[in-house]
Amino acid sequence: MNKTRLIMIALGAAAVAGCGWTPGMRDRSALVAETSSCAPKRFEVYFAENEARLTTPALQAIGLTATQLQGCDIRRVRVTGLASATGGVESNLNLSERRAVAVAEALVAAGWPTPAFELGAVGDAGAVTAAGTSEPMRRRTEVVVDAAPRR
């Protein structure tokens, strides 16, 4: 085997085996960007029939999202209350408003900025469900959060 070929084989083996740090090369960890949890999010909070009181699972969903976005720049939070089709138009709208307020208050208590909130209520008018979906799916509050990493 000639000397040039031997050197080429040795360099090739060193390149394949040398996945670690090599003098003169940058540390790869500086090139890897961490994904941020500070991104827009959407979640729903469900309620019992004719109730605006937050259930334990609702508080858990709010707490989880508040924790995930802790330290983020919360730019806007849109909270829209909905209601099922049972009851009159006015009572459904009132119930939707109370649900939106309950969720917003819980998020403010978790440390989110008050000026970022936009509250809305649509009663049962906005509670459109897919065919075969049960009424409880209408008893909810939709929360859309515009969040970004702090600069």
Mean pLDDT of the chain: 80
87: tokens are: 């009851």
Establish if 108 belongs to a structural domain.
Answer: yes
CATH code for the domain in which residue 45 is found: 3.30.1330.60
Establish if 17 belongs to a structural domain.
Answer: no
Establish if 49 belongs to a structural domain.
Answer: yes
Establish if 22 belongs to a structural domain.
Answer: no
User: Domain range holding 86?
Assistant: 41-149
Q: How confident is the model at residue 16 (pLDDT cuts 50, 70, 90)?
A: very low
| Predicted pLDDT of residue 136 | 62
Establish if 106 belongs to a structural domain.
Answer: yes
Between CA 27 and CA 35, with CA 32 as vertex, the angle to 5 degrees is 155
Count the domains in the chain: 1
CA atoms of 137 and 114, how far apart (whole Å): 28
Establish if 144 belongs to a structural domain.
Answer: yes
Cα-to-chain-centroid distance, residue 91: 30
Average pLDDT for 141-145: 94
Chain length of the chain: 151
Which carries the bigger pLDDT value, residue 25 or residue 140? Answer: 140
Establish if 30 belongs to a structural domain.
Answer: no
| Predicted pLDDT of residue 3 | 59
- Look up the pTM and report it: 0.71
pLDDT at residue 8 above 80?
Answer: no
pLDDT at residue 135 above 70?
Answer: no
Establish if 18 belongs to a structural domain.
Answer: no
User: pLDDT digits over 25-44, tens only?
Assistant: 565 555 555 566 899 999 99
User: pLDDT digits over 76-120, tens only?
Assistant: 999 999 998 888 889 999 999 999 999 999 999 988 988 889 999
